[in-house]
Amino acid sequence: MAETERESIREATLEGLDAAARKGRHGDRAPVITDDMLHTVLRRRAAGESVEQIRPDLIIPTGKRKGQNPGLASIYRALAEHEKRQAYPQALAQAEADFAALRAG
């Protein structure tokens, strides 16, 4: 009986996620490092500043930590993702196309 109930809950959850996806909602968190913040970090790093020097000037615009500074790990993660996108633009475009095809059905 518990297994049947668990399966019912699972199916209802998946249906809810599908309905939300059709409405354009995907349940992701808003990124802490926005594109504007990333461009600021990239520009200032090119000028020779360290991430530790840049961090106090960055302010999170939305979410639970709105108005606070992002963590160093968040900044470094955003920089690593940016470098990946720059190094493999075709792979990123293909992955996005594959994801869009999966969502379409």
User: Which pLDDT tens digit goes with each residue over 39-87?
Assistant: 999 999 999 999 999 999 999 998 888 999 999 999 999 999 999 888 8
Q: Phi then psi for 29, rounded to 5 degrees?
A: -75, 150
What span, in angstroms and rounded, lies between the C-alpha atoms of 78 and 37? 10
pLDDT of residue 21: 82
* Average pLDDT estimate for 4-32: 86
Are 48 and 15 found together in one domain?
A: no
Question: 3-state DSSP helix/strand/coil percent for the chain, to nearest 5?
Answer: 70, 0, 30
Specify the pLDDT at position 47: 95
Identify the pLDDT of residue 72: 95
Domain co-membership, 22 together with 48? no
Q: Which two tokens stand for residue 83?
A: 């470098």
Question: What residues make up the domain containing 5?
Answer: 1-30
Contact in structure between 32 and 74 (CB atoms under 8 Å): yes
pTM (2 decimals)?
A: 0.61
43 shares a domain with 26: no
Share of the chain above pLDDT 70, in %: 99
Cα angle 69-37-59, degrees, rounded to a multiple of 5:
25
Per-residue pLDDT at 87: 82
Tell me: do 8 and 49 sit in the same domain: no
Assess whether 95 and 54 both reside in one domain. yes
In this prediction, residue 51 carries a pLDDT of 95
